[in-house]
Structure 1
């Protein structure tokens, strides 16, 4: 059984993504695209990650993905948990699986690698967002059936699914998803090149 991870990243169609960012200077679609591709790129550069899987109903994403990233197409966008269930069914039970939201602009490969190393010791794990109520990283070790419960109060719901909270420091980019204009302003200095380019 390999100790390496498959990271699954659900990407909402860019035209529908990040509706709360309308007030930022760049076009919302450009911001959503930059966020997604920065997150994908970080995952591809993370030690211990053997494969990155992007699941989306967006028609234009395939030609933009980095080499080696696997694309799983949804017929239509039906939500993050449905997207992850589809991706997990393609990945199978024999691999360690992890889910990341496509808006972790401040994430560093070392932060993700550290969390995944800890997650390998438990069947399921979860990392809380900065507010402590939502979830960013969710994992399932090989042999464990995939389950996720993103959305409102997802951290508590993931714990109800048996996910062990991981001890990730509050300042880690793994806890800092970007949802609001305030998030955008705060995280921009730490964000990837693509996101800075649309600011």
Structure 2
């Protein structure tokens, strides 16, 4: 049981730590200290739901539903391009940390963006539902649920650390130029991910 949980923890971390749209959004919210709790909770709970779905065998359905992944893919491309444009537009006029906080989206908007960045990303279905689900089911019996539990813990630890740990870097973002660089990097990251999705 312990071995399966550890395997789930390590596998979950290996998949989630990669820089992506979801992580970039959590990082920015953490740096601005805006709605960090709700955003972290949404991302962690969404991962837990998707991991559970994969272990329950939903991955087999997703694997054969190519048209669903295509729809999600193009919705994701549109959303990421829009988000990238917003980040690059913000970068045109550098802001301070206080301005970033003042201009932050509402709680509902922040939660909505976190949900969109999670569920409009086809990779989340391929990695979290299909890959983690298939690896978990290789454990067999109860061990697959221990594996799933380890993967869920990995998500909780990662998003909590990213969201709340970002505050430690606030001194680096004390100047408008630093926020400008951050917004440009986030915008370019979103465009790169959108391009990779568009190219399949």
- TM-score after normalising by structure 2: 0.23
- TM-score after normalising by structure 1: 0.23
Bigger fraction of residues in strand: 1
Greater Cα radius of gyration, structure 1 or 2: 2
Q: Which has the higher contact order (CA 8 A, sep 6+)?
A: 2
Bigger fraction of residues in helix: 2
